[in-house]
Structure 1
């Protein structure tokens, strides 16, 4: 039995191919949409007749290909002489057995196809590593320090082919430095303005608010700084910021709604810096939209500063950024770099999503444990210490298997969008 596979941009075109090659009586076993269009698995009528002699045994969804003017196909067993027809007619239970058999055959064909594609991809990857061993070493280094496969592949593809490992590493670091956008040193404190610190729960928004307020108090004085909080849900949330405010000599106001925020900001219009500590909530919470609406409708130019935890994994960071980026993000601050196994995961998200990084924090001390972001220093810190063996370290065979896998259509689109402006020195 020879099952043939047809790919076309439309179902009509795929059916035309089936008719041309297998005839009008061809049996369609399956059809599905793929990233390239429509895929049809078909079988010639003669092949189907050899497998089972009754048309009712076709798999669920299978059908005979017929032209518009052609009469309905006569049952297959009508072609058999009358003398032998009674002998070959199966019992009533046979159609169910045949349908099951056909489904098993199709499933086995798909399994063989997947296995063959995986094996070919692994062989191709092995040949690539033999031809370009230095690039593979760089790729492993990038993955080991926390960068995503998507960013690592894109970066390695742009490296100069003839460079050795050290030269390639320097070129990779230069490219990463160019694409990690950081604000000017203490830009927020120098320029002032109204800033709302947003982000999920537990990332350190309240402590970071206090650290920024302390830096501004040192530079401009306590009378030039104001602290606001919308955190009236979390037990002790307002009190925690109030304690920081008392230590810094700054009053802390609690905001209830949009009108309250608008009135308060008008009263504080002469302040150099106003910091708003927002409610911590999951990026999947519907209240994220409500909070965004409150910040947008108060009539003031509030800059949103997204707080990202370096201790989060890459998928979580991507989800958080997606939840908040639609409403506009002025910049971001990476917290808890002292708790993260590698800073590469957080920097990877910042680079891919093209965010402006202003500060990083590495502890609870106010205001000591906050530092203006420096791209060259942060990347040098990542590559300076080589990670040790852990449960998440890939062995050679595992590394080849993962990297040989194909990217799906969504990943390709995301890759092209994320790196439309990617460049290196």
Structure 2
């Protein structure tokens, strides 16, 4: 095993040097702080490297010989046994590497906190709100962290970056479809929007449509709400029916479409009847998401439902959320406008238009109440991710 020493101003740059020269199989043997930064001693195991090169060659050799001679079987078996032992050694080296990476994340955390404690304090506060690691770093990158107004500047940046739908969907009218995963409250949100519309306008100016033919009782639930408001409900099962129905409802000021709840991983998502395409581009799809959803899942949901074409987002179950930084992160990173906040089951009271500052204030209140994730723990998680990405 050959050892090599690397000097760099910080741990991240040191890890990049190791990766570029020794590759992903490098093993960190030791680290220490120096006057100029950090010193990292790394190595790559020659046997593990040899194993990686031999396996493809052996696979190619096996494909060249369709029927090995009997006297070659014993030597082939020995080679397989040898390769198994090498593979076992490689796995052990990976385990050691993982252990060292965990230790390095702590070292990097301590070093960074010492070098720029005020900036790190800002990142910690953002992470505690639920803001994603990458966005948190971006928000503080150009901030003078030593300024007494630094936190206020960070909040102002979030408020400026947060996309909010200035037009009230109910007032704007048109054809609006609510899409999203199962159980996020699309049908209840439709009822709240329809009820509020009827309070301001005539029930003759609105129509409700459902494409949900999968969930038991979904149509019945929507029809119950509609009957109370005196609004008709139309059921659509195909794209052709959708064309025909929308043409017949052309005089309505507002048409609300309740779609089937579909997982972001479901192939049926590509068959969504409201998917933007030639002839149906006048349908505005709004993604409905629960505020209680984890950040990684939110990102996955937005990424998947973008293929149907999204005009904006409606956030439900705000009263169940532990953090709101997750939705702030997703909206800012995807520049997806937020239209309504919904918290509670009351129709139509528990639905409100969005103001960026109000949402940010809610996020800060929840951040102060949230004690399940400590600041240091959250920051270590982010630092560990940064080192991992560098490799």
For the superposition of Structure 1 and Structure 2, which TM-score range results when normalised by the shorter chain? 0.7 to 0.9
- 1:274 corresponds to which residue? 255
Within 2, Cα distance between the matches of 1:62 and 1:125? 39
| Conservation of the 8 A alpha-carbon contact between 1:135 and 1:168 | no
Structure 2 matches for 1:248-327, cutoff 5 A? 248-292=229-273, 296=277, 299=280, 301-327=282-308
Residues 224-261 of structure 1, C-alpha deviation per residue, up to 9 Å, x if partnerless? 11100011221111111111111111111111111111
Residue 172 of structure 1, aligned match among 130, 150, 154: 154
Structure 2 CA distance for partners of 1:177 and 1:105, relative to 1, 3 Å: same
Does structure 1 retain, via aligned residues, the 8 Å contact 2:272–2:308? no
Which of structures 1 and 2 has the bigger CA Rg? 1
1:133 Cα offset (Å): 2.1
Cα distance change of structure 1 residues 266 and 292 upon mapping to structure 2, 3 Å threshold = closer
Higher RCO by CA contacts (8 Å cutoff, separation 6 or greater): 2
- The aligned residue for residue 394 of structure 1 is 374
Cα gap change, 1:389 to 1:367, in 2 (>3 Å): closer
Q: Distance in 1 between matches of 2:235 and 2:82?
A: 72
| TM-score, length-scaled by structure 2 | 0.75
Q: Which residue is equivalent to 1:346?
A: 327
Q: CA deviation at 1:163?
A: 1.4
Report if aligned partners of 2:238, 2:273 keep a CA contact under 8 Å in 1: no
More helix by share: 2
What corresponds to 2:193 in structure 1? 212
C-alpha distance 106-184 of structure 1, shift in aligned 2 (>3 A): closer
Answer whether contact 2:177 2:274 (CA < 8 A) is retained. no
Q: Residue 32 of structure 2 aligns with which residue?
A: none
Shift of the 367–103 alpha-carbon distance from structure 1 to 2, 3 Å rule, reads: closer
Decide whether the 8 Å contact of 1:197 with 1:304 is kept in 2.
yes
SS in 1 for 2:155: helix
Could you tell me how far apart the structure 2 residues matched to 1:356 and 1:395 are?
A: 29
User: What is the rounded CA distance, in whole Å, between the counterparts of 1:41 and 1:127 in structure 2?
Assistant: 26
Matched residues in 1 for 2:351 and 2:53: separation?
A: 63
The 1:137–1:278 alpha-carbon spacing in structure 2 relative to 1, beyond 3 Å, is: same
Cα deviation for residue 296 of structure 1 reads 3.2
Query: Equivalent of 1:181, from 144, 159, 163?
Result: 163
Question: How many residues matched?
Answer: 337
For residues 244-284 of structure 1, what are the alpha-carbon distances to aligned partners after superposition, in whole Å with 9 as ceiling and x for unaligned?
11111111111111111111100110111111000112111
Structure 2 residue aligned with 1:192: 173
1:403 and 2:382 correspond: yes
Question: Closer, same or farther in 2 for the Cα pair 1:211/1:127, shift >3 Å?
Answer: same
2:342 counterpart residue number: 361
Residues 76-134 of structure 1, C-alpha deviations (whole Å, 9 max, x = no match): xxxxxxxxxxxxxxxxx998998777667766666666666655554343232123222
- Give 5+ residue unaligned stretches, structure 2: 6-21, 27-42, 56-76
C-alpha separation in 2, matches of 1:163 and 1:123? 27
Tell me, yes or no, if structure 1 residue 374 matches structure 2 residue 358.
Answer: no
For 2:364 and 2:188, the matched residues in 1 are separated by 28
Match of 2:228 among 247, 253, 256: 247
Asked if the contact 1:309/1:346 (under 8 Å) is kept, the reply is: no
1:17-45 CA distances to partner (integer Å, 9 max, x unpaired)?
xxxxxxxxxxxxx98799xxxxx9586xx
Shift of residue 208 of structure 1?
0.6
Residues 280 and 109 of structure 1: is their aligned pair in 2 closer, same or farther, counting only changes over 3 Å?
closer
